[in-house]
């Protein structure tokens, strides 16, 4: 067992990783009728597995390499970290699944369905919004800090002190940047000392074992791969990388070449320059002006769609958005200032420079481990380190995804928790060396369960993503009708800010749900009755096509209630909202959550939910006017009553379709 980043002490891996792996070995062996005797020694954990006259011993050793070299100083570490700042953009790149889907689309024989296209487009579009939104939010916060000097004078010292405290804590306890720095500098003396320590310990363990399996986490995966690849005398039977830093540290190592480092900085600077170009341009409307104009357009469109209209002058009033508000580019005063052209030229120059450098200086490839019989890479798709898809791994490497909380940082450090699938996979592989026949099937079952749990985690990610996009859907629709860079920047900024609370809630819920799913499967409460890719059918997922249509319809309903509510609040800003508007808004939001759950593959009792929501809307539509003296927007009651009938009809149709779907397998079986 080879640890990753962190100032590990002797015995830390035996205490942290050893018990989950040993317990899983014991559990699987006892299930197959084998006996197990465990002995914990200061330098190893020994498990004697017996079956009749046959006996084998599995020994768990640890290799601590973090004490084998001189630590870099704080100033050296900070300077190196700042120079590698562009590497943060790697977190926004497509993960392995997205990359595979993109490569499949290049095949001329591949004809994807609309569902497959959505699976490819939504994650990429989501990351694109983050790529645009993070610089926009950064520029807005910077501008706000510079504008409000008293606020900046209070916030800046606090942020600076917090950053210094975290830097000192990171350096003293984990030494993250220091370890990565030494590992990436292959020719340095400190890196050679690290390699020598690793190879010496590997040779010592190899001399006492019949077969050897390397279990390497994070940076340890990169170091172990380099050691095995460079020293052909290390006869390793199996190599298991867990959240391996093989690919990201290979990229970091390539940045020791100044040309690659310059290309990385150009890649980081380009989006900031490009967005600053349009922000500084006079013909790009200001944020508040653009937002006000957009709200007025949507409000008038909403009023025109309500029936019956209140007055014929609805679209002819003084608040009607007119074309005269759009700046005339033919007027000299609206031409961009000189700084805009300078920023645009710099943007083009950075893009060309990045492309030319990367074309002439390719990233290094990861070498295959030809002397290793089996090579596994276990990772979570959201792992901070393991999710990075480049450089490409050799074809001899089997890549396995395991379910985790969905948090980039916590996923990386929880692979060896008792409820994780990683100890189960490792234990089944180690037991297959003892006896191939009973434990080979268990290894395959472990991979199937890991895939099943990962599919369930993806459903939760899809659900959270749909909920993030729901309030922004009208803005996206408006952008497709009247494209505007300012509107794009606003959507990206709003998406970035909205993602924070939703993702935090998703991580918190997923932490419990992944543990719950794993316990149910491992304890036998849940059985896999179908292939892992049919997880939605196993869990009773709904019809996604119907869910997509419902999602669009309910989105229009909730947004209608939202904008009608905003309209009334503008007319009477100090009054309470009317009951009908609140019911429209609440019903729409509830139905959006249900439709998003159906699209994500969850089973929703739509008939029950729709019946309750329809009765609620009908109540709001026929409330006596004397109960609330506030004026309703034109057509609000008509919208509420018609929506209640539509929702009730959808619930009835859903009930009929479900009954037919349940009766169909019985008919097939009888035939």
Our CA angle for 154, 166, 188, nearest 5°, is 135
Position with higher pLDDT, 20 vs 114: 20
Position with higher pLDDT, 631 vs 188: 188
Neighbours of 404 (CB within 10 A): 30
Instruction: Determine the pLDDT at residue 671.
Output: 42
What is the mean pLDDT of the segment spanning 325-333?
Answer: 42
Position with higher pLDDT, 181 vs 575: 181
Q: Give the per-residue SS3 of 72-126.
A: CCHHHHHHHHHHCHHHHHHHHCCCHHHHHHHHHHCCCCCCCCHHHHHHHHHHHHH
Give the strands of the sheet with 44-51, arranged side by side: 35-40, 44-51, 54-61
Instruction: Determine the pLDDT at residue 217.
Output: 93
Whole-prediction pTM value?
0.71
How much of the chain is helix, strand and coil, in % rounded to 5?
65, 5, 25
Which residue from 230, 287, 225 is spatially nearest to 250, judged by alpha carbons?
Answer: 225
Position with higher pLDDT, 206 vs 611: 206
SS3 359: helix
Please provide the size of the chain in residues. 671
Q: Given a cut of 80, is residue 520 above it in pLDDT? A: no
Instruction: Determine the pLDDT at residue 632.
Output: 57
Q: Given a cut of 60, is residue 627 above it in pLDDT? A: no
Q: How confident is the model at residue 386 (pLDDT cuts 50, 70, 90)?
A: confident
What is the mean pLDDT of the segment spanning 624-648?
Answer: 59
Q: How confident is the model at residue 411 (pLDDT cuts 50, 70, 90)?
A: confident
Return the percentage of the chain with pLDDT > 70, whole number: 62
Q: Given a cut of 50, is residue 307 above it in pLDDT? A: no
Region of poorest pLDDT, from 474-478, 527-531, 579-583: 527-531
Distances (CA, A) of 477 to 349, 491, 548: 33, 11, 16
Our CA angle for 292, 296, 299, nearest 5°, is 135
**Tens digits of residue pLDDT in 82-125:** 888 887 777 666 666 677 777 676 666 777 676 677 777 777 78
Our CA angle for 100, 102, 105, nearest 5°, is 110
- For residue 159, give the H/E element and its range: helix 149-169
Q: Given a cut of 70, is residue 584 above it in pLDDT? A: no
Q: Given a cut of 70, is residue 516 above it in pLDDT? A: yes
Judge whether 551 and 599 are in contact, CB under 8 Å: yes
Instruction: Determine the pLDDT at residue 202.
Output: 92
Torsion of CA 197, 198, 199, 204, to 10 degrees: 90
Buried b (16+ CB within 10 A) or exposed e, 45-61: bebebeeeeeebebbbb
Buried b (16+ CB within 10 A) or exposed e, 144-181: eeeeeeeeeeeeeeeeeeeeeeeeeebbeeebbbbbbb
What is the mean pLDDT of the segment spanning 49-61?
Answer: 89
Q: Given a cut of 50, is residue 517 above it in pLDDT? A: yes
Judge whether 584 and 560 are in contact, CB under 8 Å: yes
Distances (CA, A) of 387 to 125, 250, 267, 391, 464: 18, 14, 20, 12, 19
Position with higher pLDDT, 640 vs 139: 139
């Amino acid at each position: 067992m080879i640890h990753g980043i962190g100032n590990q002490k002797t015995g830390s891996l035996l205490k942290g990783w050893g018990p989950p792996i040993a317990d899983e070995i014991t559990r699987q062996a006892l299930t197959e009728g084998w006996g197990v005797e465990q002995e914990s020694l200061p330098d190893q954990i020994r498990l004697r597995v017996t079956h009749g006259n046959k006996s084998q011993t599995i020994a768990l050793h640890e290799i601590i390499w973090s004490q084998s070299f001189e630590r870099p100083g704080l100033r050296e570490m900070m300077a190196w970290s700042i120079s590698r700042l562009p590497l943060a953009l790697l977190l926004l790149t497509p993960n392995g699944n997205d990359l595979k889907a993109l490569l499949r689309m290049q095949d001329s024989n591949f004809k994807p369905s609309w569902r497959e296209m959505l699976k490819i487009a939504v994650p990429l579009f989501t990351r694109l919004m983050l790529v645009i939104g993070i610089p926009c939010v950064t520029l807005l916060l910077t501008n706000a800090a510079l504008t409000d000097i008293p606020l900046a004078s209070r916030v800046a010292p606090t942020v600076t002190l917090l950053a210094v405290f975290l830097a000192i804590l990171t350096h003293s306890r984990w030494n993250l940047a220091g370890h990565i720095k030494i590992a990436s500098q292959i020719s340095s003396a400190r890196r050679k000392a690290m390699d020598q320590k690793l190879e010496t310990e590997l040779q010592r363990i190899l001399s006492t074992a019949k077969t050897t399996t390397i279990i390497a986490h994070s940076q340890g995966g990169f170091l172990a791969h380099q050691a095995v690849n460079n020293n052909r005398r290390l006869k390793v039977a199996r190599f298991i990388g867990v959240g391996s830093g093989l690919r990201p540290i290979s990229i970091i190592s390539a940045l020791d070449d100044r040309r690659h480092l310059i290309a990385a900085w150009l890649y980081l600077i380009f989006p900031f320059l490009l967005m600053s170009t349009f922000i500084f341009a006079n013909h790009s409307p200001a944020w508040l002006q653009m937002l006000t104009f957009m709200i007025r357009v949507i409000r008038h469109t909403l009023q025109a769609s309500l029936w019956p209209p209140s007055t014929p002058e609805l679209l002819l009033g003084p608040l009607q958005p007119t074309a005269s508000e759009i700046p005339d580019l033919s007027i000299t005063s609206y031409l961009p200032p000189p700084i805009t052209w300078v920023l645009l030229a710099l943007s083009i120059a950075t893009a060309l420079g990045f492309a030319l450098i990367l074309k002439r200086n390719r990233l290094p490839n990861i070498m295959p481990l030809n002397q290793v019989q089996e090579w596994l890479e276990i990772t979570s798709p959201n792992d901070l380190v393991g999710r990075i898809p480049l450089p490409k791994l050799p074809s001899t490497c089997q890549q396995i995804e395991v379910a985790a909380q969905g948090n980039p940082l916590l996923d990386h450090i929880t692979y060896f928790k008792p409820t994780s699938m990683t100890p189960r996979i490792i234990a089944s592989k180690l037991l297959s060396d003892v006896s191939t026949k009973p434990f080979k099937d268990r290894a395959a079952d472990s991979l199937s369960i890991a895939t099943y749990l990962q599919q369930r985690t993806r459903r939760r990610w899809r659900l959270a993503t749909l909920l993030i996009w729901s309030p922004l859907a009208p803005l996206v629709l408006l952008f497709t009708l009247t494209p505007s860079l300012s509107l794009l920047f606003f959507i990206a900024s709003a998406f970035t800010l909205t993602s924070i609370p939703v993702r935090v809630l998703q991580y918190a819920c997923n932490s419990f749900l992944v543990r719950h799913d794993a316990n149910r499967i491992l304890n036998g409460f849940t059985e896999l009755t179908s292939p892992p890719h049919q997880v939605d059918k196993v869990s009773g997922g709904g019809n996604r096509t119907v869910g997509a249509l419902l999602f669009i319809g309910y989105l229009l309903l909730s947004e209608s209630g939202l904008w009608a509510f905003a309209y009334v609040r503008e007319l009477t800003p100090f009054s309470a909202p009317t009951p009908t508007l609140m019911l429209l808004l609440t019903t729409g939001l509830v139905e959006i959550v249900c439709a998003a759950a159906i699209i994500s593959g969850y089973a929703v009792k739509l008939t029950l939910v729709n019946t309750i929501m329809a009765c609620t809307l009908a109540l709001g539509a026929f409330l006596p006017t004397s109960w609330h003296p506030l004026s309703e927007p034109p057509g609000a009651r008509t919208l509420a009553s018609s929506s209640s009938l539509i929702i009730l009809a959808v619930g009835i149709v859903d009930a009929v379709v479900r009954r037919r779907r349940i009766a169909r397998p019985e008919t097939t079986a009888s035939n």
